[in-house]
Each structure stands twice: as structure tokens, then as C-alpha cells.
């Protein structure tokens, strides 16, 4: 089997509890051998590359540091102040500066340079996410001919938003150098095709094959999953169920998100406020636990969302709290996975209501964590990629607080039979399309895509 070279923005080092993507890439790397390449995590005054070699390990890790200038331009700048807002439908939050784009190009070129000595004939390269769009173009320029695949974890923007980029043509040129483009949802594949048709020279050859900038690329949907069996087990063995129940109250709604403006937290708080206003019988009967660790705090839009959500939750609590009940508990801290799993299991309602989201793995974790005999109800935004497959959730429009509040009330009153029917259908999907399925399906498709004859620019 050919070696796998995985490249991601962040290289997981150490033994922290790991998420699904880390497990999936590690499994794939363990079975084929290879190298995992990524940013070490913090800006450094003396940037260097480090090869982490462990005797007997199935694969190597290669980390690179970034200096402060590159970190600000590539990571905080072009990645998180231009691409992230744009891909989440918020071009008004973009902060376009020429030095951001320059830094973004510079880091991809540097990653390509540091990869070269580690590549061998017969390898396959798999690039993850929006921080590294230009990597295939940089590698091809350096003469690399092995298959290169790309997976985008966040939504792909439609033509109106793409046109707001400082460099839409360049984005499509970057993408044209991959053999296989993987997207989370049909929505993203559709947006890619339409945006590239309008803003570049894309011509469809079939549903999944395109000619773009004189090259042929394959583009398909691969909905990412979680490590379902591990998560189910984690939830079953969650610590101290009784204690958890006494802490969380009999009926609890839970939300778990990075504190990000794409996750729709203000809308969620407003819907909860409406629920309590229109259902006074629920006062002291239901509580809402929102766990949201802050991220990207040096980007202004993230400071704004923190202030807005703290203000809103404070207002709802001020309006409804009683001497022995706090309606919203808003916690800005990460929790170990087994604690999260236990909290999901205790929660009668899981709230996943982003305004835009590539997939949303919390939706899948919530389902996996439920007790199959007495499961909770998932309320899911139609704008999460997960909504395309998790159709047995209560699907809502997160912009409409009345609809969301009604779904909360419906979930509170849902019969056990109906909860079990919905949950078993959802669980089946989460288990079948888990993260191992995702990576093996992707890698099989990459192999196939790369076997096609190389197209010439005039052919
Ligand atoms: P994220 O935007 O980070 O991921 P999501 O898919 O929900 O969103 O993944 C978050 C992960 O972090 C989950 O596994 C969750 O359990 C964990 N997490 C969140 N809050 C936590 C806390 N307080 N403590 C511990 N863990 C916490 C991006 C895209 C998504 C896409 C994923 C994977 O934005 O749309 O689903 O990548 O492709």
C-alpha cells in the first residue's frame, strides 16, 4: 500500500484527548505508514521544523513553527479573518489586507519546501482544510506528481460570496491542482461548481468530474463522521450518572460549541427566552447548559460574539432566574471527552443551531451518547452540513427564534416512542458513516481519481 502524507493546519502532539479527525488520520497513517505534517501550534521567535521520530512507530510527525508575522498574516489574517467569515456567509466580517494574502501564500510555499525531502515516489498526499488551499499548486510547481487530495471541512461559498474575495480567480486555480476535492455536503459541491462556473472557467464533464483551469479535477461529497463506537462506549461509562443528574437537573438542554459567530448562540439564547416567555410552566423545570470555550480571541469579531452572548445570557437569567434555579449556565471552558459524553447523555435536548457549519460533529456526538431506551431529541439547524443526512432530527431555521422555541417545546413534550424512533434512525447513520468510513471512502476515491489519464491544457 502506498504511504499516506497527511497535512493539516495543526499537528496534534502529545497525548491530549483526541477528536474524531485525529483518530481517523492516525488510523489511516498507522495502516499505510507515512508522515503527518502540520503547524506546531504557537508562534515562535525562532521558527524551525521538527521531525518527531519514535522507534517502532508506524508513521512520523513533522511539525513546523511560524514566526509572529506569518502567524498573524496566514492564520489570524487570511485564514480566519477572510476565508472563515466568507465561507460562513459573513463577508461583512472580512478584513481584507494585502499582507494577509502574501503571508498565506508564503506559508503554503514554505510547507511545500519542507515536505519535499520527505516525499517518495508512490506516496499519496491528503491536505486538510482552508488554511492550505495553495499547497497542491506549490507542490506541482516543485515537480511533485503523486496524487494529491484535498478535503474542505467548512462550507464552500456560493458565487455572490466568492466574488467578495480579493482573489477569487486564484482560489479556483489553487483548487484545480488537486486530483480530488472532498466536500462535507451536496450544498458545498453545488456551490463550488456554480461559483467556479461563474468566476472561473469550470466546465462539468459529469456530476463529479470537472475541467478547471486546463486541468481535470474530481469533486465529491464525503460527510465526515465521529469515532462512533468509542463515543458510545465513553457515554455508557460516563462518570457518576447520578451525581451528574443532580448537578444538571431533571430536564436539561445542552449546547457545545467553540465560541464562534457561525454557531448561532445569540439566536439560541433568544429562542430559549421565547420558550420561557410562552411556556411559564417550564420555569424551574428546564435548564440550558451552554459550553463554549473561546477561540481566536485576538480576532475582533470573536471578542464581539463573546460580549454579545454574555450580555444575552445575563439578560435571560436576570429576567427568569429564581432563588433556586438559573435558566442558562454559560461555561467558557473545554471539558474532557468523557465528561462531555456524560453531559450529552443527561440532556433531554441537544441544541445544534449554527447559522452555517461544514458538518457539525456535536450533532453526531449527541446522538451517539444517548441511552437507546430513553434517548433525547436533537434540534438541528438546516444550515449545518449534518442536516443533509440527519433528517430525523427536528430541523429548524436558526434565524427564526419562534420556530426554534416551538421545536424546543415539541422536544420537551415528545413521547418516548417518537424519541426512540427518531433516535434509532439517527444512530444508524452515525454508526454507519463514522470517521473510519469517511477516511477510507475518501482515500479509495483519491486512488481512483488519480488513476485517470492526466489531461493536457488543450485536450
Ligand atoms: P468545528 O467548527 O470545531 O469543526 P464541530 O464539528 O462541532 O465544529 O467540532 C467541534 C469538536 O470540538 C467536537 O468534537 C466537540 O466535542 C469538541 N468541543 C467543542 N466544545 C468543547 C468543549 N467545551 N470541551 C471539549 N470539546 C469540545 C470544523 C467545522 C465543522 C466540521 C468539523 C470536522 O467547522 O463543521 O464538522 O470541522 O470536519
> What tens digit of pLDDT does each residue of 123-159 get?
999 999 999 999 999 999 999 999 999 999 999 999 9
**pLDDT bracket for residue 280 (50, 70, 90):** very high
**What's the pLDDT at 459?**
37
Q: Which residues contact 386 (CB under 8 A, 6 or more apart)?
A: 223, 352, 357, 359, 360, 363, 364, 380
When pLDDT is averaged across residues 387-402 and rounded to a whole number, the result is 98
Q: Is ligand 1 within 6 A of the CB of residue 291? A: yes
3-state secondary structure at position 325:
strand
What pLDDT is recorded for position 458?
43
Q: What is the pLDDT of residue 249?
A: 58
CA–CA dist 446, 440 (Å, integer): 10
The pLDDT score that the predictor gives to residue 408 is 98
Average pLDDT over residues 186-214: 97
| CA distance between the termini of the chain | 32
Instruction: Determine the Cα–Cα distance for residues 320 and 165; give it in Å rounded to an integer.
Output: 44
Going by pLDDT thresholds of 50, 70 and 90, the confidence category of residue 37 is: very high
**Measured between alpha carbons, how far is residue 432 from residues 25, 153, 388, 389, 457 in Å?**
18, 20, 15, 12, 40
Return the SS3 of 390. coil
ipTM of the complex: 0.98
Look at residue 20 in the predicted model and tell me its pLDDT: 66
Beta carbon of 343 within 6 Å of any ligand 1 atom: no
- Residue 200: the pLDDT is 97
43-53 pLDDT, tens digit each: 988 888 888 87
DSSP code, position 72: I
Read off the pLDDT of residues 398-451 as tens digits, 9 standing for 90 and up.
Answer: 999 999 999 999 999 999 999 999 999 999 999 999 999 999 999 999 999 988
Residue with cell 484535498: 150
Distance 45 CA to ligand 1 centre (A): 30
**357 catalytically annotated:** yes
Residue located via cell numbers 521544523: 49
Q: Is the dihedral of CA 309, 315, 318, 324 positive or negative?
A: negative
Dist. CA 20 → ligand 1 center (Å): 9
| pLDDT tier for residue 453 given thresholds of 50, 70 and 90 | low
Proportion of the chain in helix, strand, coil states, percent, rounded to 5: 50, 20, 35
DSSP assignments along 124-178, one per residue:
EEEEESGGGTTHHHHHHHTT--S-EEEE--SPPP-HHHHTTSS-HHHHHHHHHT-
Does residue 247 have a pLDDT over 80?
no
Cα–Cα distances (Å) from 82 to 71, 135, 167, in that order, read 14, 18, 11
Classified as helix, coil or strand, 195 is helix
DSSP state of 113: H
How far apart CA 315 and CA 244 sit, in angstroms, is 26
CATH placement of domain 228-432:
3.40.50.2000
At a CB cut-off of 8 Å and minimum separation 6, what does 405 contact?
271, 272, 274, 275, 278
Strand order across the beta sheet in which 4-10 lies = 49-52, 59-66, 34-43, 4-10, 124-128, 148-151, 180-183, 215-221, 209-212, 203-204
| Average of per-residue pLDDT across 287-309 | 93
Q: What pLDDT shows up at residue 394?
A: 98
Dig out the grid coordinates for 32 from the structure. Answer: 499505510
Task: Using the atom order of ligand 1, give the atom closest to the CA of residue 292.
Answer: 23
Q: Which of 88, 153, 177, 423 is catalytic?
A: 153
Distance 359 CA to ligand 1 centre (A): 9
Statement: residue 242 has pLDDT above 70? no
Each domain of the chain, given as residue ranges in start order, spans 4-225+436-450, 228-432
pLDDT above 50: residue 457: no
Question: Does this model's pTM top 0.90?
Answer: yes
Cβ of 270 closer than 6 Å to ligand 1, yes or no, is: no
Q: Which range, of 104-118, 133-147, 235-249, averages the lowest pLDDT?
A: 235-249
Proportion of the chain above pLDDT 70, given as a percent: 94
| Span 79-102, average pLDDT | 97
Q: What is the mean pLDDT of the chain?
A: 93
- Tell me the pLDDT tens digit for each residue of 336-370: 989 999 999 999 999 999 999 999 999 999 999 99
Given the residues 357, 392, 423, 434, the one annotated as active site: 357
Domain 4-225+436-450 and domain 228-432, same fold? Reply is: yes
| Banded model confidence at residue 454, pLDDT cuts 50, 70, 90 | low
Output phi, psi for 114, to 5 deg. Answer: -75, -20
Cell representation of residue 200? 472561473
CA atoms 14, 291, 393, 270: torsion sign: negative
130 vs 239: CA distance, rounded Å: 37
Is any atom of ligand 1 closer than 6 Å to the C-beta of 202?
A: no
From 11-20, 52-61, 77-86, 218-227, the region with the lowest mean pLDDT: 11-20
Q: Is the CB of 359 under 6 A from ligand 1?
A: yes
Is CATH 3.40.50.2000 correct for 4-225+436-450? yes
Question: Picking from 133-137, 241-245, 298-302, 396-400, which range would have the lowest pLDDT averaged per residue?
Answer: 241-245
Amino acid at each position: 500500500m502506498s504511504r499516506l502524507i497527511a497535512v493539516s493546519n495543526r499537528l496534534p502532539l502529545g497525548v491530549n484527548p483526541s477528536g474524531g479527525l485525529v483518530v481517523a488520520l492516525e488510523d489511516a497513517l498507522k495502516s499505510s505508514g507515512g508522515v503527518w505534517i502540520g503547524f506546531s501550534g504557537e508562534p515562535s521567535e525562532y521558527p524551525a521544523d521538527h521531525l518527531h521520530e519514535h522507534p517502532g512507530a508506524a508513521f512520523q510527525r513533522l511539525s513546523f513553527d511560524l514566526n509572529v508575522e506569518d502567524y498573524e498574516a496566514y492564520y489570524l489574517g487570511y485564514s480566519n479573518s477572510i476565508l472563515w467569515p466568507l465561507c460562513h456567509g459573513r463577508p461583512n466580517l472580512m478584513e481584507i489586507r494585502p499582507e494577509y494574502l502574501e503571508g498565506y501564500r508564503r506559508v503554503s510555499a514554505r510547507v511545500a519546501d519542507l515536505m519535499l525531502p520527505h516525499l517518495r515516489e508512490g506516496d499519496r498526499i491528503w491536505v486538510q482544510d482552508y488554511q492550505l488551499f495553495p499547497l497542491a499548486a506549490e507542490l506541482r510547481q516543485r515537480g511533485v506528481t503523486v496524487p494529491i487530495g484535498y478535503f474542505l471541512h467548512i462550507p464552500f461559498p456560493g458565487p455572490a460570496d466568492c466574488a467578495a474575495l480579493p482573489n477569487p480567480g486564484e482560489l479556483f486555480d489553487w483548487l484545480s491542482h488537486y486530483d480530488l476535492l472532498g466536500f462535507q455536503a451536496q450544498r458545498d459541491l453545488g456551490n463550488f461548481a456554480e461559483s467556479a462556473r461563474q468566476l472561473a472557467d469550470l466546465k462539468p464533464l459529469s456530476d463529479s468530474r470537472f475541467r478547471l483551469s486546463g486541468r481535470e479535477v474530481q469533486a465529491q461529497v464525503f460527510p465526515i463522521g465521529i469515532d462512533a463506537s468509542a463515543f458510545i462506549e465513553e457515554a455508557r461509562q460516563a462518570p457518576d450518572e447520578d451525581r451528574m443528574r443532580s448537578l444538571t437537573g431533571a430536564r436539561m438542554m445542552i449546547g457545545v460549541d467553540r465560541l464562534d459567530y457561525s454557531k448561532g448562540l445569540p439566536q439560541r439564547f433568544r429562542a430559549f427566552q421565547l420558550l420561557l416567555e410562552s411556556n411559564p410552566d417550564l420555569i424551574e423545570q428546564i435548564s440550558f447548559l451552554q459550553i463554549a470555550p473561546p477561540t481566536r480571541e485576538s480576532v475582533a469579531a470573536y471578542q464581539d460574539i463573546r460580549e454579545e452572548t454574555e450580555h444575552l445570557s445575563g439578560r435571560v437569567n436576570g429576567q427568569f432566574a429564581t432563588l433556586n434555579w438559573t435558566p442558562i449556565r454559560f461555561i467558557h471552558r473545554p471539558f474532557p471527552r468523557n465528561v462531555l459524553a456524560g453531559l450529552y447523555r443527561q440532556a433531554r435536548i441537544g441544541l445544534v443551531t449554527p447559522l452555517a457549519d461544514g458538518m457539525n460533529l456535536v450533532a453526531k456526538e449527541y446522538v451517539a451518547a444517548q441511552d437507546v431506551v430513553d434517548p433525547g431529541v436533537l434540534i438541528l439547524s438546516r444550515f449545518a452540513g449534518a442536516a443533509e443526512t440527519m433528517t430525523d432530527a427536528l430541523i429548524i431555521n436558526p434565524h427564526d427564534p419562534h420556530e426554534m422555541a416551538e421545536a424546543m417545546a415539541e422536544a420537551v413534550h415528545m413521547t418516548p416512542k417518537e424519541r426512540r424512533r427518531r433516535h434509532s434512525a439517527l444512530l444508524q447513520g452515525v454508526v454507519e458513516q463514522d470517521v473510519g468510513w469517511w477516511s477510507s471512502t475518501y482515500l479509495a476515491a483519491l486512488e481512483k481519481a488519480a488513476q485517470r489519464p492526466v489531461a493536457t491544457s488543450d485536450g
